[in-house]
Structure 1
Amino acid sequence: MKRILVIATDGFEQSELTEPRAIMQDAGAEVTIASPEDGSIKGWDKDHWGESVDVDITLDEVSSGDFDALILPGGQINPDLLRLQPRAIELVREFDAAGKPVAAICHAPWLLIEAGLVEGRTITSWPSVRTDLANAGANVVDREVAVDGHIITSRNPGDIAAFTDALKQALAMERVGENA
């Protein structure tokens, strides 16, 4: 069974955490939610506060070696808060250094910038993050999913199907083509 870590805090875009979690669980993965503090975190649902999600583990308790992939949901608030958390950035770097899939959607590529992981890589994101990505040296594209090695990025909630399909492929959780 594949084990996937989701790093999030208050203000995560509701659909960008709950839908990938459900899709990956349906595909047979175990999904763990990590946040700076225990308890629960509150989602942002388009233009208002959404539902809360229980935190399974704090960032300080996470060992990246226990997981096969990392999901970083977006929303404007969530990644902006997380990029100020040294342990969150350290975990992103650990997953990258281990060559494990790192999947970031919407505003979450801010965490990839903070971790120093975008220079020379092909990345997509929410439109307002694209200048930041370009300034950090990324090759910025506008498409539903961009896969550059083990880094997977998408633009918005409308891209969740492509985003999770790319993650499943990266984890070899589904066949790719006839000869897979």
Structure 2
Amino acid sequence: MSKILLLLANGFEAVEASVFTDVLGWNKWEGDGSTEVVTVGLHEELQCTWNFTVTPEKLLHEINFEDFDALAIPGGFEEAGFYEDAFSDAFQQVIRHFDERKKPIATICVASLALAHSGILQNRKATTYNHPTSKRLEQLQSYGAIIVNERIVQTEHIITSSNPGTAFEVAFLLLSNLTSIQNKQKIKDLMGFN
């Protein structure tokens, strides 16, 4: 069984978190049964970007990082306070732990900036929110990342993506990395993506 730590910052986008719970949840019940997602945050109650409130299953200080096989982080909005949690020492410690052990790390949109802030994207290919009106790619580059302006970039065990529209693709890529391409295709078919 692969246990996935879904790390939620205050101000995260609900849709970017739900793809992980849904795709990996479908796999748990309808696929090979090998994935389990645990939602984790710094606060007993988290407010999403659009005022949706979520209660994580665990608080970060309650878990043992060694119990988890992969890390998933949805992005969020600065205006909703996303970076306060995402750039916190506690979040950075989690990110470095998974990177040091080469465990899969999947991020959507600006969540890659949390990885960059931790230092793990130095001299690694990555992407982030890439709309022409945004300066997020420049921000990512300022951390020493090698910018690849594509929808999804996988470098070693790390997945980064360019916008919320990539969310399902990232979740399916993580599923494929944790199980198999055939299993991913089965879940995509069951969920109506084929």
Which TM-score band (shorter chain)?
Answer: 0.7 to 0.9
Once the two structures are superposed, the pairs formed by residues 130-141 of structure 1 within 5 Å of their partners are 130-141=137-148
Are the equivalent residues in 2 in contact too, given 1:79–1:107 (CA < 8 A)?
no
SS in 1 for 2:154: strand
Q: Does 1:94 align with 2:97?
A: yes
Amino acid in structure 1 at the alignment position of 2:109: C
Partner of 1:30: 36
TM-score when scaled to structure 2? 0.81
1:20 deviation in Å? 2.0
Pairing partner for 2:160 from 153, 156, 160 = 153
1:101 deviation in Å? 0.6
Partner of 1:59: 60
Are the equivalent residues in 1 in contact too, given 2:7–2:74 (CA < 8 A)?
yes
Structure 1: gaps spanning 5 or more residues: none
| Rounded Cα–Cα distance in structure 1 between residues aligned with 2:2 and 2:181 | 12
Partner of 2:16: 16
SS in 1 for 2:21: helix
Structure 2: gaps spanning 5 or more residues: 29-34, 184-194
Q: What is the aligned-residue identity percentage?
A: 28
| Rounded Cα–Cα distance in structure 1 between residues aligned with 2:180 and 2:65 | 20
1:88 deviation in Å? 1.1
TM-score when scaled to structure 1? 0.87
1:50 deviation in Å? 4.1
Runs of at least 4 residues of structure 1 off by over 6 A? none
| Rounded Cα–Cα distance in structure 1 between residues aligned with 2:179 and 2:171 | 12
| Rounded Cα–Cα distance in structure 2 between residues aligned with 1:84 and 1:163 | 22
Amino acid in structure 1 at the alignment position of 2:42: P
Amino acid in structure 1 at the alignment position of 2:116: I
Q: Does 1:42 align with 2:47?
A: yes
Amino acid in structure 1 at the alignment position of 2:36: E
Q: Name which of structure 1's ranges 143-152 and 123-132 shifts more when overlaid on structure 2.
A: 123-132
- The count of residues paired between Structure 1 and Structure 2 equals 172
Partner of 1:7: 7
Of structures 1 and 2, the larger Rg is shown by: 2
Amino acid in structure 1 at the alignment position of 2:24: M
Amino acid in structure 1 at the alignment position of 2:39: I
Q: Does 1:162 align with 2:169?
A: yes
Decide whether aligned partners of structure 1 residues 41 and 173 sit closer, same or farther in structure 2, where only a CA change above 3 A counts. Answer: farther
Partner of 1:107: 110
Are the equivalent residues in 2 in contact too, given 1:8–1:34 (CA < 8 A)?
yes
Are the equivalent residues in 2 in contact too, given 1:41–1:54 (CA < 8 A)?
yes
| Rounded Cα–Cα distance in structure 2 between residues aligned with 1:58 and 1:137 | 31
